Amino acid sequence: MRPIAAILVGLLALLVGGAPASAADDGQLTWAVAPADNGMGDARPNFGYEVEPGDTIDDAVVVTNMTAAPLTLAVYAADAFTTSSGQLDLLPAGEPSSDVGAWVRLEKDEVTLDAGEVATVPFTVTVPDDATPGDHSGGIVTSFRSTQGGSTVALDSRLGSRMHVRVAGELAPAVDAADVRVDYHPSWNPFAAGSATVTYVLRNTGNTRAAATDSASVAGPLGLLAAGSAQQDTPELTARSEIERQIEVAGVWPTFRLSASVEVLPESVGVGGATLPTLTVEGSAWAVPWSLLVLVVLVVAAAVVVPTARDRRRRRAAPVEVPVDAIG
């Protein structure tokens, strides 16, 4: 077994991942959470099951106290969700679950461990008869609640292992992209390009987990002076979730009107994962070359003012002719 070790933070935090993860602060509290080695597999990075509606699965989670003192932890299951930043998180203990978190029944909801002690907590996953096909995500959470300095605010430090349950049936992976917005960032140098931030919403509208790579390009009218970004990976999206993505594009010239194009290459995640049709969404924005216009105004003003001033000085410096008959 490869435990997922963590030195817990003193603020609300949850670590769930498909690979070992860790966090650290003052080193006062340390414990590890991992799937148990059993008939379901050894050295599993997380809990993953393929089931039929009505199935029952027996499994266990292993909790290790790596602190040199006794430690009491709450243990519970919760639904997963994708945060706006694209991170996978689990509902806190006070929020009821309606999906995977409600399917799990743990043998105990609290464990007390002596220093260095390891505890195995069995649990059962009961898949409802009417469970919909596709991916359902959640996790097993261990939680330590504390207060500091007489404060009435409780700090909840959490560490968990994610759980993905794929229910048999018709899989319908689908990803959508929309709501493109372009923000131009000019350079104060009139002879240098600026940059643009292209923002859009990526939605997993299907019933499987999905991920993608995306890139953006920005150009002036008729595709002139085009600039593009490198492809980058998006976070994994749980079924029926969405995130806002931002792509930075350098070398963008202010051509008054900019057109942006975002290309998304999505794919479904998990068993039977496949590449989905490429998505292209577009947006536009104004990009006025203010620094260049200011420079042009200054040059034109100088071209008018300097000759005029020079002409005035010449007139003032020219000798005044006195008529001869005016001399007595």
How remote is the C-alpha of 239 from its chain's centroid? 16
Q: Which amino acid is at 53?
A: P
pLDDT per position as a tens digit, 62-75: 999 998 899 999 99
Q: What is the pLDDT of residue 151?
A: 60
Q: What is the pLDDT of residue 171?
A: 92
Q: What is the pLDDT of residue 324?
A: 59
pTM of the model: 0.78
Q: What is the pLDDT of residue 16?
A: 41
Q: What is the pLDDT of residue 153?
A: 62
Q: What is the pLDDT of residue 146?
A: 74
Check pLDDT > 60 for residue 5: no
Same fold, 4-167 and 175-290: yes
CA distance 236 to 250: 26
Least confident of 17-26, 81-90, 157-166, 226-235: 17-26
With contact defined as beta carbons under 8 Å apart, do 93 and 41 qualify? no
Q: What is the dihedral of CA 213, 219, 225, 228, to 10 degrees?
A: -10
CATH homologous superfamily of domain 175-290? Immunoglobulins (2.60.40.10)
Tokens of 314: 């010449």
Residue of 167, 165, 186 lying closest to 47 (CA atoms): 165
Which residue's entry shows tokens 């817990």?
Answer: 8
Measured CA to CA in angstroms, residue 35 lies from 77, 123, 280, 302 at distances of: 13, 11, 40, 76
pLDDT per position as a tens digit, 177-192: 999 999 999 999 999 9
Q: Is 230 exposed, middle or buried (0-12, 13-18, 19+ CB in 10 A)?
A: exposed
Residues in the chain: 328
Strand extents, DSSP E, 186-319: 194-204, 210-219, 227-228, 232-233, 241-252, 256-268, 279-287
Which carries the bigger pLDDT value, residue 140 or residue 316? 140
Q: Is 134 exposed, middle or buried (0-12, 13-18, 19+ CB in 10 A)?
A: buried
What's the N-to-C CA distance of the chain in angstroms?
123
For domain 4-167, the question of CATH label 2.60.40.10 is answered with: yes
| Beta-bridge partner residues of 49 | 165
Residue of 51, 128, 137 lying closest to 90 (CA atoms): 137
How remote is the C-alpha of 218 from its chain's centroid? 22
Check pLDDT > 90 for residue 120: yes
Q: Give mean pLDDT, residues 149-155.
A: 63
Check pLDDT > 90 for residue 310: no
- Please give the mean pLDDT across all residues of the chain: 86
Which pLDDT band holds residue 290 (cuts at 50, 70, 90)?
confident
Give the domain ranges of the chain: 4-167, 175-290
CA distance 191 to 230: 24
Q: Which amino acid is at 32?
A: A
Q: What is the pLDDT of residue 12?
A: 37
Check pLDDT > 50 for residue 132: yes
Phi then psi for residue 204, to 5 deg, are -95, 100
Check pLDDT > 70 for residue 285: yes
Q: Is 107 exposed, middle or buried (0-12, 13-18, 19+ CB in 10 A)?
A: exposed
